[in-house]
């Protein structure tokens, strides 16, 4: 998608040197677009952990390039194993990380050391290119869901939580792909963007990328979503996901579950958009089997933003003596999910439908 008219991906190999990896530092958005040059696996692991790059598909793509950088320094078996372990331990919930690393391992392990570096870069690029094509297909799958609400120029109100847009993937996004397509095709689409405390991916990232693409949107406090639904101001909810079980349970950013409850109570469709790389075929019960990342309490006790004098400031908003807890994801049971928007089409959130649609993967 575009930033001020220029098309970008969220990750790419530097054209000048042909090997270092460029990422957009998402911790700096929306205040500045800082392009960071990553030259080694440790820096890439840090970028994933500290969330310079984030969002399930982009975490996977970044890890793939992390492997390529590691092998460029040392293509031995032991260094390949160390890189896979280091990158695999960066974040626990998004299955795309493990999916991408397993794919790199399968391709690279049988090769001679001499062949590994070129093969690693080629496989990482394939993962990125496939992600773009997959997300575009997700957009095409989801577009009719929006169009159904937009007859005769009527405003289509979509609510989303967190950031499942192009900067959470390599391009297009998952939940936002149908929204970009609807907007680009002339539909009157408007997005309620939940701020997504504690890290504010909605307020800082989703609002930024929708704004840069010209998609009408309004940021609301997380707690306002249910109220908007009760008032009839939400036609449908679309969110992304970090891991879906084979039974259709969905892990996504903390707060997603509450929106699913409110959507069901108000008879509003609650859709989840995902590439098949986000399905964990090894587990069925999301509540017991999906590891939920616990992040630093500092993300709850402080907030960072632009002060009125223009400087970027971090302020504490909780009494210094109060402890805080920070579970980063929650699980929405399949029974609350209207359906899954995938690259192969719409799919019910249950094991029979998923295994039927993805027979070759299940």
Adjacent-strand bridge partners of 346: 341
Distance in angstroms (rounded) separating the CA atoms of residues 139 and 345 = 10
Shortest Cβ distance from residue 14 to ligand MRU (Å)?
Answer: 24
Return the structure tokens found at 249. Answer: 């349970």
Identified catalytic residue from 131, 222, 235, 242:
242
Residue with token string 């390599």: 170
Burial profile 137-171: b = 16 or more Cβ within 10 angstroms, e = fewer: bbbebbbebbbebbeeeeebbbbbbbbbbbbbbbb
Shortest Cβ distance from residue 329 to ligand MRU (Å)?
Answer: 7
Burial profile 319-344: b = 16 or more Cβ within 10 angstroms, e = fewer: eeeeeeebebbbbbbbebbbbbbbbe
| Closest C-alpha to 192, from 127, 268, 252 | 268
Contacts with ligand MRU, residue ranges (CB under 6 A): 54-57, 94, 162, 164, 168-169, 173-174, 201, 240-242, 252-253, 328
**Inter-residue contact 55 to 8 (CB < 8 Å):** no
Catalytic annotation on 242? yes
Q: Closer CB to ligand MRU, residue 165 or residue 226?
A: 165
Shortest Cβ distance from residue 115 to ligand MRU (Å)?
Answer: 32
| Closest C-alpha to 223, from 263, 260, 250, 258 | 258
Q: Closer CB to ligand MRU, residue 116 or residue 199?
A: 199
Cα–chain-centroid distance for residue 309?
32
CA angle, 265 then 269 then 272, to 5°: 115
Shortest Cβ distance from residue 39 to ligand MRU (Å)?
Answer: 23
CB neighbourhood size of 267 (10 A): 7
Q: Closer CB to ligand MRU, residue 57 or residue 66?
A: 57
Shortest Cβ distance from residue 199 to ligand MRU (Å)?
Answer: 7
Q: Closer CB to ligand MRU, residue 9 or residue 54?
A: 54
Q: Closer CB to ligand MRU, residue 30 or residue 150?
A: 30
Shortest Cβ distance from residue 262 to ligand MRU (Å)?
Answer: 17
CA 172 to each of CA 56, 96, 206: distance values in angstroms, whole numbers, following the listed order: 13, 17, 12
Q: Closer CB to ligand MRU, residue 80 or residue 347?
A: 347
Catalytic residue numbers read 242
């Amino acid at each position: 998608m575009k930033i001020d008219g220029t098309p970008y991906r969220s990750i790419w190999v530097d054209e000048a040197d042909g090997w270092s990896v460029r990422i957009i530092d998402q911790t700096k958005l929306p205040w500045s677009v800082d392009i960071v040059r990553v030259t080694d696996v440790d820096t890439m692991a840090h970028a994933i952990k500290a969330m310079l790059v984030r969002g399930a598909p982009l975490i996977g793509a970044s890890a793939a390039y992390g492997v390529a950088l590691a092998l460029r320094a040392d293509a031995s078996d032991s260094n390949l194993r160390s890189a896979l372990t280091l990158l695999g331990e960066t974040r626990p919930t998004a299955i795309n990380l493990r999916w991408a690393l397993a794919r790199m391992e399968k391709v690279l392990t049988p090769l001679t050391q001499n062949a590994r570096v070129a093969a690693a870069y080629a496989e990482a690029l394939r993962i990125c290119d496939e992600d773009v094509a997959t997300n575009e297909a997700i957009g095409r799958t989801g577009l009719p869901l929006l169009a159904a609400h937009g007859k005769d120029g009527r405003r289509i109100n979509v609510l989303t939580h967190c950031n499942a847009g192009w900067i959470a993937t390599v391009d297009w996004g998952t939940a936002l792909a149908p929204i970009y397509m609807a907007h680009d095709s002339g539909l009157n689409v408007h997005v309620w963007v939940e701020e997504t405390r504690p890290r504010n991916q909605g307020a800082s990232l989703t609002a930024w990328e929708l704004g840069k693409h010209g998609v009408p949107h309004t940021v609301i406090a997380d707690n306002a979503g249910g109220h908007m639904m009760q008032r009839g101001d939400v036609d449908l909810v679309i969110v992304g996901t970090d891991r879906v079980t084979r039974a259709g349970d969905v892990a996504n950013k903390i707060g997603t579950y509450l929106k699913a409850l409110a959507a069901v109570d108000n008879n509003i469709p609650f859709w989840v958009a995902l590439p098949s790389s986000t399905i964990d075929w090894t587990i069925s019960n999301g509540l017991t089997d999906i590891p939920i990342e616990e992040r630093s309490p500092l993300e709850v006790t402080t907030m960072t933003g632009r002060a009125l004098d223009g400087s970027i400031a971090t302020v504490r908003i909780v009494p210094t003596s109060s402890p805080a807890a920070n579970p980063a994801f929650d699980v929405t049971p399949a029974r609350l999910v209207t359906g899954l928007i995938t690259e192969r089409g719409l799919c019910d959130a249950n094991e029979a439908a998923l295994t039927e649609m993805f027979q070759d993967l299940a």
